[in-house]
Structure 1
């Protein structure tokens, strides 16, 4: 099957594309570098022609609600319209456990953007499967750079149950291979698959572990989280499947 991976050169997009190629799919790794600018609809229609599935791994690193909501709304509108026009049978979108909770969406500009993304896919004219995961282990490295004051990294102590990014990529590839389980999202609603990791922790603790791994050049200051949406809203419920790989093991075996 011809599969277009949007954001195909990013961390998750690359991992998903590798797995799909390994399973015999014809994969198009679409990105601005390949001439596809989703928010401007540039190159999108031609890229989706003949595709059986589209995987949305698009991302934007920002804390701005205006930028995040604007980006994800524009991208989702463009992708859903182009996929319907091209006759794509299935769209798979990578999202976040808990992000549709209003208290979570209100707590962060980025999460507001991801909530807007899911809302856009919920009215798509094609079948959609949303793959929601908890924070990836590798996001601990992002936490170190988001709010920096010199050598200090300010990281909220929000509760997380992080998951290995390889497990998320495997699940996305499985969903692509299985095909759609619903009709058009606007009629049946999107299908949802979820995945979490084994251990409960918080973002500041994760960031400290990565900072120590990298030689302790950055000092992590854990910030209290007054908003309930960030304190506990990203923790999965008991019914969410869990991958067994542990964050501490990933820290020991990873590194730059």
Structure 2
């Protein structure tokens, strides 16, 4: 296996360090972050490596660069959505039920023609995951997920048999935009077997895309038994 150049690996590490400080609240919106020179001294690297990490976060909307003033944590963009990004483990445990995850399949591969359409990318390597989520011993949802390894290279080393992919992504990967699509489908034989329901039974299909700037992060399709699941949105005027 060919290892990436050290400068590329270091650029990703610096970017993740910056992202974690923003996500944790250590850096607040409007706060000026350390200078390029300080990052160069901390990591013992070139200005080009630091600048590459900064540019990625500026393009994703997490940082903003002000001429002659420095680089600052960007103010959040406020969007109102009908649905939040769901964390299936949190949903199940929030109902007072024991959660369990079954990893059915894991495949690190070059994007196929179908993958490119689903993830909305033109090329690249991705991680494809097939999961089944349980509430107590009852199947709660089936999940098909694609993770863009160009955007989230560290996902390749995560043990998703222990950590639900949605929970891990929400906790570790900043995103700036998301899109949901909700449809009703009838269970085919494989879906019926996986969810423990009758063939042709009604199911809720929730598809979701998330991205950071122009960088696609993940595509997920989650299937729920129609008679055991409801989508609820709470609004304020």
Say whether the fold is shared (TM-score over 0.5).
Answer: no
Q: Would you tell me which structure has more strand in proportion to its own residues?
A: 2
Q: Would you tell me which structure has more helix in proportion to its own residues?
A: 1
Q: Which protein has the larger Cα radius of gyration, Structure 1 or Structure 2? A: 2
Q: Which has the higher contact order (CA 8 A, sep 6+)?
A: 1
TM range (shorter): under 0.3
Normalising by structure 1, report the TM-score.
Answer: 0.25
Normalising by structure 2, report the TM-score.
Answer: 0.27
